[in-house]
Chain A
């Protein structure tokens, strides 16, 4: 069964450092997403990406965040200068072309900022 894969599974970084989280969405999907979940809190939408551009972003997704699809398979989330409050599980997800299509999640990348 096709799946969304994410790397790394866990990363510890110092405050102020740049972090890149990588994702390979399901191959025939057209919409890509990043969500995050701070420990004990609800899952929060960060950004959606379609046709090589951001289609929607949340208030959380400020100038410190960026996304890129550098080739036909990878989808990355970059945090330019990490803060302690960026510590969370970051989930990449993808969905097909129809509205309401199921969104499939990767296993997540734990980011710990110290």
Chain B
């Protein structure tokens, strides 16, 4: 079983809509979760981190974590064409500082 799984997409949404990105993970010991955005040929850029069950909001972005079900999601409200990118879910576990990554979900926001 892969440690971090994401639907590779592409996910296509119209401008102004809500984009919903999902991620599941296999290790119940995982404590910290991160959503990164990556434009083609560029480095990952942190959008949100979440450590506790529930929702965390930052501007147009909301991260949701459910440790019992082992999933973490990212909602993007009022999607903009500039949000078109690959969204990477990552986690670290226990005392490990390294990040384990999903393959990413490609998001296309259509004007």
Contact = CB atoms under 8 A, between A and B. Distances in A.
Contacts, number: 55
A40 B52 CA distance: 31
Nearest to A50: B97
B17 interface: no
Contacts of A33: 97-98
B97 A48 contact: yes
Interface of A: 31, 33, 35, 41-45, 48, 55-56, 58, 89, 91, 95, 99-100, 102-108
A55 B97 contact: yes
Contact of B101 (A42, A89, A100, A102): A42
Nearest to A43: B101
A56 B92 CA distance: 13
B96 A56 contact: yes
Contact of A107 (B42, B102, B104): B42
Contacts of B46: 102-104
B18 interface: no
A63 B101 CA distance: 24
B31 interface: yes
B96 A108 contact: no
Contacts of B88: 42-43
Given A105-B44, A108-B43, A95 B103 contact: no
Nearest to B6: A42
